[in-house]
Amino acid sequence: MKRAVLIGIIIVLILVVATFTFWQMRVSEVKQGSEEIIDIYPGLSARIVEVMLENESYKAGDTVVASMIVENTGNVTITQELVRVDVYVLSLKSIAGSVLLKTLSDQEKTRSTMLDYNVIIKPGERKTLKAKFKTVEEIGGVKLAGKYRVTITLYISPDDIPKRAHSKVIELELE
C-alpha cells in the first residue's frame, strides 16, 4: 500500500500544466543488412544552454516554474521540440518516506513525462522554453520533502520525427 502511495506521489509531483504528447521515438534509421546508423537529419543539432528555476528554493506543495534556454547549433531551422523530464527520488526527509524508498527499485523511483513545444528556432538563435508544475506536500501521510534528480532531455525536429539533441541534469530539493 505504501509503495503504491509513493508511486502515486511521484506521478502527481511531475504532472505539468501543459499539453502532453508522446512522439514516436524514431531518431535514426538502420541501413538494411548492416549495423551502420544513418543520421536522418544532418545539420540538425541543438543544446540546452541553461536550466533555471524561478525560485532558489521550493517547499513540497509549491508550484515550480522552470525555464530552459535552447540554442540551435545546427544549420536547419527547428520547428518542434520535445522535452523528456525524468524525475528520480534521491531521498525523502520523512522517516516513513526514507524507509519506503529502500523497498523501491530505481525504475519505481523514477517518473517521466513529455512536454511538447512548437517554437521556431533558427540556426544560431536561442529561445526559452518554460514549464510549470505543482508539487504535492504529502499523500497518505508520507511527506514529499526531499531531494530529486531531474534529467531533462531535448529532442528536436524540423518535422514529426524527433532527434535527440542534448541532456542536462539538475537537482531539486523540496523543503
Q: Is residue 90 part of a domain?
A: yes
- Residue 32's pLDDT is what? 37
pLDDT for the residue 3: 52
pLDDT at 121: 95
The answer to whether position 118 is within a domain reads: yes
Q: Is there a domain that residue 33 lies in? A: no
Residue 53 maps to a domain: yes
Structural contact between residues 120 and 79, judged by C-beta atoms closer than 8 angstroms: yes
Q: Is residue 69 part of a domain?
A: yes
* DSSP summary character for residue 20: -
Rounded to whole angstroms, what are the CA distances from 35 to 24, 42, 54? Answer: 21, 19, 45
- The ranges of the chain with pLDDT < 70 are 1-40, 139-140
* pTM over cut 0.75: no
The domain total for the chain is 1
Whether residue 161 is contained in a domain is answered as: yes
pLDDT of residue 17: 27
DSSP 55: S
Q: Do the domain assignments include residue 124? A: yes
CATH of the domain at 104: 2.60.40.10
Domain interval for residue 127: 2-27+41-174
Evaluate whether residue 148 is within a structural domain: yes
Locate 108 and state its grid cell.
519505481
